[in-house]
Amino acid sequence: VPARALAGALVAAALLAAGCGGGMAPSDDGTACMTGGEPGPLLVEERTERPQVPPYARRVTEDGTFWELSAVRVTVEGGETRFEPQPLRWRARWSVPPADLERIRAEIRASGILDAPERIAPQGTSIGGSDVTWTVCLDGRTHSVLLHGAPDARHEATDRLKRVLDRALQAGADAARPSGGG
């Protein structure tokens, strides 16, 4: 038992060190929005997976925290963008302002994503495309939409949600700047 407890403590410490401390509390609706040791409870996530490369994901949790899962560290210096490998793990970036968080919730309800097909794929054969999975969790409902073979696979609801998410993340980045919006 002591060994098991020690192992559990080590795992918990590792998760915390990896930035996965959030989301361990249960959500109001039970476990629907839990994400198994990853940042949560989840509100919206856009996860992109491509052949040959690690996944990339953007996630906003219920509390408005913006998390990024990436194996590439991007830096911009003097207008030049550099890409360097980094360990694949979730990293908290900044928080989405409450008003924008509410816009995301409203768009989840209005866009129709909660009722969109679970899998959308272009007709014919596609090789090398991305699998983009949108997952939303709101009002006790969880729903995922897989766009298999993006960019050819698209859906109006996810396009709408992407626009609102982009705006919300930009607003969060602006708010996080010391000057409050750059």
Partner 1 sequence: VSRPAPALRRRRDLDHGVPPAAAPAALLPAEERAAEESADACGPACECDECGSRSGRRVVARSILDTVGQAISGAVGAVVDAVGDVLDIRECEEEKDALEDKEDFLDGSYGPEDLRPPTGLGGFGAAYDPRAEVLTISLRGGVTFTDGLSIDAAGNVTAAAGAHPNAGAAATQIMSLPVEQRAAAVAPWQWGGDKATWLAGFESGIESAWGAQHEFHCTRRYWEDIGAQVEVEVTVHEGAKADDEHMSLTVFKVPDTFVGGVGVVSSGGGGALDNRMTLNSNDIMARRDNLLVPQAITFAPGSTALGAAAGQVSVIAATYAAGLTPSCSYCGKNIEGTSGPVLTITCQGDGPDRDASARARFDAITAALTAAGFTDTEARTVFVADTAADGQTCRVVADNGAAQIVAAHEAGHMFGLGDEYAVGAGSMITGTGRTAGQATRHDQLVRDMGLQGSVAENNDNIMSVGNVVRPQHYATFLWALREVTGMQEWALGPAGIATLPTCSLGPGDFPVPSPDGPQYA
**Using CA atoms, how far apart are residues 50 and 176, in angstroms rounded to an integer?**
31
Contact 116, 143 (CB under 8 A): yes
Q: Which residues pair with 59 in a beta bridge?
A: 45, 67
Residues at the site binding partner 1, with contacts judged by CB under 8 A: 48-56, 58, 68, 70, 72, 74-76, 79-83, 93-94, 122-131, 149-152, 154, 159, 162-163, 166-167, 169-170, 173-174, 176-177, 179, 181-182
Looking at beta carbons only, is 30 or 52 nearer to partner 1?
Answer: 52
Residue 158 makes CB contacts below 8 A (sequence gap 6+) with: 111, 113, 116, 132, 134, 145, 147
**Using CA atoms, how far apart are residues 134 and 115, in angstroms rounded to an integer?**
12
Nearest to 90 by CA among 61, 115, 58: 58
